[in-house]
Amino acid sequence: MTNLGIVPVLFILLIILLVVTLLQSKSYRTKLNQRPLKIFIIVYVAILAVAPIIYFILPKEEKQVLTDNGSEKLNLENKALREALFKNETASIDERFLIDEWTRTFKEKEIYLKMENPDEGEKVNIIVQTSDKANEQITGKLYRKNFIENYIYIPDKLNKPTIIWRNEKTMAVKNPTAKKLSYVTVSDKLNKGGFNNEESHSVVVVEKWDDDGPYYLLLTIPKDVKVWSDEGLRIYD
Amino acid sequence: MMTVIQCENLEKKFRKKKALQNITFQIEGEKITGLIGRNGTGKTTLLRILAGMTKQTSGTVTILDKTPFNNLFVSANSILINDQMQFPGSFKLQDILNFAPDFYEKWDAELATRLLQYFRLSPQSYHSDLSKGMKNTFNFIFGLATRCTVTMFDEPINGMDEAVRKDVYRALLKDYLAYPRTIIISSHFLDEMEHLLEDILLLDEGKVALHKSLDELREHAIGLQGPADVVKKWATGFEILHEKQLAGNQLYTVLKAQDCTFNEKQLLQEGISFIPVSAGDLCLYLTNTRVGGIDDVFND
Amino acid sequence: MMFLTTKSFAETLQAQVKFKLHAYLSMVVYLIILQVAGMLLFLLLGSANMSSSSDLVEMEFYVFTPKPMLILSSLWAFYVGKLMTRHDQRADIMPFVTTRTLSSIADVVVLGLLAIFTGITVMLSIYVVRIIVMLKPNQNIISGENMVNAPGIFIENIMTFIVFILLMTAIGYFFGMLTQQSKLWIFFIVAVSVLMLCSAFGQQVLLVTIKLAKSVPLPLLGTPVIASSILFVLATLLANKLEVRG
């Protein structure tokens, strides 16, 4: 909640002390005349009066805290994405989910899929598909579902997983590192504990499919290649 | 003639100390009254009661037929000018003058401006920056320009130099003649302003020692000076207000005149001369409770 | 026949209020300085920051509300209330037409007007904070309650702030009048408050008082308004009793 350290508190106290001393020593013999005082006050009031207008006029990219409806809609999209991936209906997937795509010539007869840092959780789900054509090529498509954290939809700011070819046969996936994001909210409300109103949200039921990490790596491998996988790697085929 | 100020058995106590007691007097019509008394005799307290700033402990006081304490009518028609007057720190003299007409219907802005100019007070200076004399000059101008029916000055000339004092007296007299009103001035400098006053209200130790017109006051006492034994002989039977031993066995005595009549010729023959007693000196003698003078402190 | 002035109470009150407002202009300037200081401190130090982490994001949240400006302004309000009761500010030596009662009423009106000014400026100052926050580059801003999406909160807050500031001025005014009577009151009040807070019995009394105050069927702002009125009336009675030796 309110996380004011001791230093700012002391700082504020110091300022107050200074101002009070200033007030006490000056109030008897203030040499500020009526006119400059009035001008000062009028300027301040004008600034305050114009501030809301400027605020509403200025172009801004303010994010909204998701409502229950909003997050449900995004979750449904995630569900649809997952189903489309597993049913191999990639054509029906919205382009915004696809964040990376690559092709690689692959002449080996087997492939090892490894996780570079498995202890950091399962953030990438790998779906392996075999292609009918024997074209000696591997294609990878990286999808990311709608990512919601703390009722905030974070579409494009996350770090991506990286793919490393240790050798011709071994592909390692490196989990993305956590991204630092800071959010600011300014509210008219006096007692704003958090940036969102937790009480206004219902408890979200986590379904099984929702357990997936946010990334899907769809690998298309020639049909005669054998796939070996590491533990700690989530592979669907 | 209308009674402007009336006090009856007025008493004021600060805790146990009696600042004023048994004050009874009335001031009628438009005249300038001098409120005279030594330090700490209750002049300021009396003026503050008259101005409605303090409440008396007992007795009655009316200004224009109203009790002054917490009374708007009295406040609107009277003003007390003293050196404790404070104005907001951010106000220049001009700002003060600008606000005055909101409060005082009879405010004479032109007079105020002209007097300010004459006394070389810049309308752009701050009240708190003025020296004591200048502050009192400004306060005096302020009081005069309000043209209040009852205008009271408490030691208005403190800190002013002689030239300014003379101008201030003159200004007061001129404005009074043009716009007669009831004015009370308390001061130590009675001699200087004797010519202004019609009445004298003398306070002594919180009591009214005397309230007379200046003419009456002048006839109140006579001074005799001559050889000590002769003067003493003549003074027997009269109330002696003051006595002073002079060089060469001469004696100066002030007697309460009452209904005494002296044979001037005979007095002169016996080497006694009449010395008129100024109002200032008389007031001093009337309120002097000490035995002897300062000289006696140094005598064995 | 002499010409006497008969000014009505209302006329004089109006003139006194105008005069006192001008006399307190410098106080308003100090209020503004405090509010600006509040905003700057607030922006520099942030407020109410929280963080939450998951595997993919470490989120930090900074929440800005009008609270610091309100706290600083209420300290000012207490100071101004107390200042008004100072010897040199009172009717005794103020040279313009007034009476003690009228002067006290004018004080209350002026404090009321200052409270309204303060309440509104505190509420609006948060919009200056908004603009400054928006001008900082690389910010993720989440929209909070504002006068457009939550007008109810905006208006309710202004009312609450005004009443709260008024209460602070009333406390200052009453406290000032008490200390004008005798400086011993300061020690007495401090001692009583310390005792109340430290002893179990005192805390009990406080809690019961708060409960009683809450149980009175009044609208939300009723209690502080009534408390302010009582304090102002008591202070006015004290002022009428006050003796200042000239």
Q: What is the ipTM metric for this complex? A: 0.83
Nearest Cα of chain B lies from the Cα of A62 at a distance, in angstroms, of 45
For residue B35, list its beta bridge partners. Answer: B186, B201
How many contacts does A have with C, using Cβ atoms within 8 A? 219
Contact assignment for C133 to A183 by CB distance below 8 Å: no
Q: Which residues of B touch C83 (CB under 8 A)?
A: none
Contact assignment for A28 to B91 by CB distance below 8 Å: no
- Determine the Cα–Cα distance for residues C58 and C100; give it in Å rounded to an integer: 63
Helix (H, G, I), strand (E, B) or coil at A57: helix
Nearest Cα of chain B lies from the Cα of A26 at a distance, in angstroms, of 9
Contact assignment for C243 to B54 by CB distance below 8 Å: yes
Assess B99–A contact: CB distance below 8 Å, yes or no. no
Assess A105–B contact: CB distance below 8 Å, yes or no. no
Task: Write out pLDDT tens, residues C159-187.
Answer: 989 998 999 999 999 988 888 877 788 88
Assess B71–C contact: CB distance below 8 Å, yes or no. yes
Supply the pLDDT for residue A201: 45
Assess B91–A contact: CB distance below 8 Å, yes or no. yes
Assess A31–B contact: CB distance below 8 Å, yes or no. yes
Q: Which residues of A touch B129 (CB under 8 A)?
A: 29
- Pick the residue from chain B with its C-alpha nearest to C6: B73
pLDDT band per the 50, 70, 90 thresholds, residue A204: very low
Domain that holds residue C62: 9-181+216-241
Reduced DSSP (H G I as helix, E B as strand, rest coil) percent helix, strand, coil of chain A, to 5: 35, 30, 40
List the chains bordering chain A where 3 or more Cβ pairs fall under 8 Å: B, C
Assess C95–B contact: CB distance below 8 Å, yes or no. yes
Kindly calculate the radius of gyration of chain B based on its CA atoms and give it in whole angstroms: 22
Supply the pLDDT for residue A208: 46
Contact assignment for A48 to C140 by CB distance below 8 Å: no
- Among the partner residues C88, C99, C244, nearest to B75 by beta-carbon distance: C99
Contact assignment for A47 to C128 by CB distance below 8 Å: yes
With contact defined as beta carbons under 8 Å apart, do B287 and B37 qualify? yes
Per-range mean pLDDT, top range of A147-161, A222-236, B277-291, C143-157: C143-157
- Among the partner residues A157, A178, A182, nearest to C55 by beta-carbon distance: A178
pLDDT band per the 50, 70, 90 thresholds, residue C124: very high
**Domain residue limits, chain A:** 3-57, 68-236
The two structure tokens encoding residue B196? 């202004």
The mean pLDDT of C107-115, rounded to a whole number, is 93
Assess C10–B contact: CB distance below 8 Å, yes or no. no
- Among the partner residues C70, C88, C140, nearest to A63 by beta-carbon distance: C140
Give the mutation candidate from A188, A197, A206 for the C interface (greatest C CB count, under 10 A): A188
- Among the partner residues C52, C88, C140, nearest to A184 by beta-carbon distance: C140
pLDDT band per the 50, 70, 90 thresholds, residue C143: confident
- Is a pLDDT exceeding 70 seen at residue A81? yes
Assess B87–C contact: CB distance below 8 Å, yes or no. yes
Contact assignment for C246 to B99 by CB distance below 8 Å: no
Assess A34–B contact: CB distance below 8 Å, yes or no. yes
- Determine the Cα–Cα distance for residues B55 and B67; give it in Å rounded to an integer: 10
Report how many domains make up chain C: 1
With contact defined as beta carbons under 8 Å apart, do B149 and B182 qualify? yes
pLDDT band per the 50, 70, 90 thresholds, residue A2: very low
Torsion of CA A179, A184, A185, A191, to 10 degrees: 100
Q: Which residues of B touch A29 (CB under 8 A)?
A: 89, 126, 128-129
The mean pLDDT of A54-64, rounded to a whole number, is 82
Summary mean pLDDT of chain C: 82
- Among the partner residues C91, C97, C101, nearest to B103 by beta-carbon distance: C97
What does chain B come to in residues? Answer: 300
Give the mutation candidate from C26, C123, C163 for the A interface (greatest A CB count, under 10 A): C26
Nearest Cα of chain A lies from the Cα of C129 at a distance, in angstroms, of 8
What letters, b where the CB count within 10 A reaches 16 and e where it falls short, cover B95-133?
bbbebbbbbbbbbbeebbeebbeebebeeeebbbebeeb
Is C207 a domain residue?
no
- Among the partner residues C3, C19, C25, nearest to B99 by beta-carbon distance: C19
**From its phi and psi, is residue B107 left (phi > 0), alpha (psi between -120 and 50) or beta?**
beta
Contact assignment for C93 to B2 by CB distance below 8 Å: no
Assess B118–C contact: CB distance below 8 Å, yes or no. no
**pTM for the whole structure:** 0.81
- Per-position pLDDT tens, chain B of length 300: 788 999 999 999 887 888 898 899 999 889 999 999 888 888 999 999 998 888 888 999 999 999 998 889 999 999 999 888 888 878 889 999 999 999 999 999 999 999 999 999 999 998 888 899 999 999 999 999 999 999 999 999 888 998 999 999 999 999 999 999 999 999 877 888 888 899 999 988 888 888 988 888 888 888 888 888 888 888 887 888 888 888 888 888 888 876 666 777 787 888 888 888 888 888 888 887 655 667 777 876
What are the distances in angstroms from CA A45 to CA B65, C23, C70? 48, 19, 17
Supply the pLDDT for residue C63: 82
Q: Which residues of C touch B97 (CB under 8 A)?
A: none
Supply the pLDDT for residue A193: 56
Which residue type does A224 have? D
- Pick the residue from chain A with its C-alpha nearest to B95: A34
- Determine the Cα–Cα distance for residues A75 and A148; give it in Å rounded to an integer: 9
Is C190 a domain residue?
no
- Is a pLDDT exceeding 60 seen at residue A1? no
With contact defined as beta carbons under 8 Å apart, do B183 and B264 qualify? no
Kindly calculate the radius of gyration of chain C based on its CA atoms and give it in whole angstroms: 22
Supply the pLDDT for residue C183: 78
Contact assignment for A34 to B126 by CB distance below 8 Å: no
pLDDT band per the 50, 70, 90 thresholds, residue C245: very low
Say which residues have a Cβ less than 8 Å from residue C176's Cβ, sequence separation at least 6: C81, C82, C83, C84, C85, C86, C235
Assess C5–B contact: CB distance below 8 Å, yes or no. yes
The DSSP H or E segment spanning B241 is strand B240-246
pLDDT band per the 50, 70, 90 thresholds, residue A203: very low
Helix (H, G, I), strand (E, B) or coil at B49: helix
Contact assignment for A194 to C63 by CB distance below 8 Å: yes
